[in-house]
Amino acid sequence: QVQLQESGPRLVKPSQTLSLTCTVSGGSISSGTYLWSWIRQPAGKGLEWIGRVYNSGFTNYNPSLKSRVTISLDTSKNQFSLKLNSLIAADTAVYYCAREDPVASYFDFWGQGTLVTVSS
Amino acid sequence: QSALTQPASVSGSPGQSITISCTGTSSDVGRYNLVSWYQQHPGKAPRLIIYEDNKRPSGISDRFSGSKSGNTASLTISGLQAEDEADYSCCSYAGPTPWVFGGGTKVTVL
């Protein structure tokens, strides 16, 4: 059974950069054709797809966040990471990492989520 | 504002059927047969319950069903049970983005 776990700071100051890591267990992040995504959910609001990384390292980003986002892969640690810069209060949200099945087109495994608060 | 529109809340009594709508556009819901639905209990990660508009993953009760007409997808929960009380979100492939979600619907079992 594949499991994903987010880690990173819970509180970040405005204008700074958020760095989160997703550790994958139960399967290799570099095998198969799966894609690895970050998704966030502000309190009381809907989910928002942030971006994804292929096992080749190729990335896609949500156009609304593209200028501030970098997602990368570390196959040696079986992890992938999110960096979001120039933080504002509206970036406060629960951040999830998830595995995407590109054939069936769905997110089949999710992390538990981590709440990140942007505040001075 | 979310890309896909869902009602904020839907309620029903045990045993009843409820339907949650998810309205998009001809660029997402109406263009691709790639609507999925996720169930989320408080403090928990989303769980896939419907994919490709109307398919159920292994292990998901047949009380959950999906359908679509034009730019609107729907999730129906039949034989409503207390354990179905949760938030439900739709998601659609949208080409360049490529994924857009709805704002979520809170289901209350009366």
pLDDT above 60 for A38: yes
What pLDDT is stored for residue B58 in this prediction? 93
- Compute the average pLDDT of residues A32-52: 93
Residue of B nearest to A5 (CA): B45
Q: Which of A107, A108, A114 to mutate to test the interface with B (most CBs of B within 10 A)?
A: A107
Angle among Cα B66, A44, A108 to the nearest 5 degrees reads 40
Interface of A with B (CB under 8 A): 37, 39, 45-49, 60, 62-63, 96, 104-108, 110-113
pLDDT above 90 for A40: yes
Could you tell me if B60 and B77 are in contact, meaning their C-beta atoms sit under 8 angstroms apart? no
pLDDT tens per residue, range B42-92: 989 999 999 999 999 999 999 999 999 999 999 999 999 999 999 999 999
What pLDDT is stored for residue A30 in this prediction? 87
- From the list A45, A105, A108, the residue facing B93 with the nearest CB is A105
What pLDDT is stored for residue A32 in this prediction? 79
Cα→Cα distances A73→A6, A83, A109, B49, Å: 14, 12, 17, 28
> How far from each other are the two terminal CA atoms of chain A, in whole angstroms?
39
Is B34 at the interface with chain A, CB within 8 A?
yes
pLDDT tens per residue, range B87-105: 999 999 998 778 999 999 9
Tell me the average pLDDT of chain A: 94
What pLDDT is stored for residue B1 in this prediction? 53
pLDDT above 90 for A93: yes
- Compute the average pLDDT of residues A110-118: 96
Residue B53 identity (one-letter amino acid): D
Which chain B positions have a beta carbon within 8 Å of A63's beta carbon? 96-97
What pLDDT is stored for residue B2 in this prediction? 61
Tell me the two tokens of residue A120: 């001075």
DSSP character at residue A99: E
Residue of A nearest to B48 (CA): A108
What pLDDT is stored for residue A103 in this prediction? 81
Cα→Cα distances B4→B17, B27, B98, B100, Å: 23, 11, 13, 7
φ/ψ bin of B104: left (φ > 0), alpha (ψ from -120 to 50), beta (otherwise)? left
- From the list A37, A48, A105, the residue facing B52 with the nearest CB is A105
Inter-chain CB proximity B101 and A62 less than 8 Å: no
- pLDDT category at A96 given cuts 50, 70, 90 is very high
- Compute the average pLDDT of residues A51-56: 92
